[in-house]
Amino acid sequence: MLNSQSALDLMFQALADASRRSMVERLCRGPASVSELAAPLAMSLPAVVQHLQVLEASGLVRSEKVGRVRTCAIQPAALRAAETWIHERRLFWEHRLDQLGAFLAEQGDEDKGRTP
Amino acid sequence: MLNSQSALDLMFQALADASRRSMVERLCRGPASVSELAAPLAMSLPAVVQHLQVLEASGLVRSEKVGRVRTCAIQPAALRAAETWIHERRLFWEHRLDQLGAFLAEQGDEDKGRTP
DNA sequence: GCAATACTTAAGTACATGCTTAACAGTCAG
DNA sequence: CTGACTGTTAAGCATGTACTTAAGTATTGC
């Protein structure tokens, strides 16, 4: 791998941790400060900040510091990218299933005609 | 974290690697043997098997050995679970945006009435 | 100014991940 | 039976991840 991380790598990696997902869920309900994000999590503040950095690197979250408080907000476009990837795979798979169904149906018809 | 991995952790973790995603993409086009999955990847067979184990642990892929060849197939229900999680967050966020829009519109009306 | 607030930085630790090579094991064709 | 084919197991290594504590730095309220 050696640090050639694609956007999807960073995105899914960011979502692959329950603490980070709970931060995302919190942010879906509106912006929050670092302390607010940390409150429900059983870990030190620096740990939360590190998770936040992962989320920012993935593009899922953006933050801005005003005075002494850093306010974090979710970045929905990034969420959509991950959703799209998964959705497309699933569509492709379902398309294949349709083809398979058609193939089997055709086979069934042939069998009917050939071996009555 | 300490090994208490939820289904979503395993799922997103599995998708957070380009090699594994390419294996998933390959499997969306139909079942494949381990060697077939390995062919386009620039790594040893054991490495591919390890990725396969991650995919199986996540529920994204299932495999069965017949004779000396192990055939792998995608498990679409698992894909749908990941898609659903993301989709729900996005819906929640969009709902919030709607509320915000309504709020701002209302504020605008009030301002119009109050400061003409 | 001074102390509390809200982070930030640095350093260290334990464990997980993504590979590798080497050696092994079951299956099938001739 | 033998040898090629397809995978499996084991061991090891370099790097990455998820924390920790301790010590710092701006901001802000009094």
| B110 domain residue, yes or no | no
Interchain contact, A89 vs B82, CB within 8 Å: no
| A30 domain residue, yes or no | yes
Closest CA to the C1' of C5: that residue is A68
**How many angstroms is C1' of C12 away from CA of A62?**
29
| B48 domain residue, yes or no | yes
Question: What tens-digit pLDDT sequence spans chain B (116 residues)?
Answer: 434 578 999 999 999 999 999 999 999 989 999 999 999 999 999 999 999 999 999 999 999 999 999 999 999 888 888 889 889 988 888 777 777 666 666 665 655 544 44
| B53 domain residue, yes or no | yes
Distance, in angstroms, between A65 CA and closest chain B CA? 22
Q: What is the CATH number of the domain that holds A22?
A: 1.10.10.10
| B52 domain residue, yes or no | yes
| A36 domain residue, yes or no | yes
pLDDT tens string A32-70: 999 999 999 999 999 999 999 999 999 999 999 999 999
| B63 domain residue, yes or no | yes
Instruction: Check whether residue A33 has its CB closer than 7 Å to nucleic acid strand D.
Output: no
Into how many domains does chain A fold? 1
Mean pLDDT over A103-115 rounds to: 55
**Cβ neighbours of residue B69 closer than 8 Å, sequence gap 6 or more:** B33, B34, B35
Nucleotides on chain D within 7 angstroms of protein Cβ: 5-11, 15-22, 26-28
| B42 domain residue, yes or no | yes
Domain that holds residue A24: 7-75
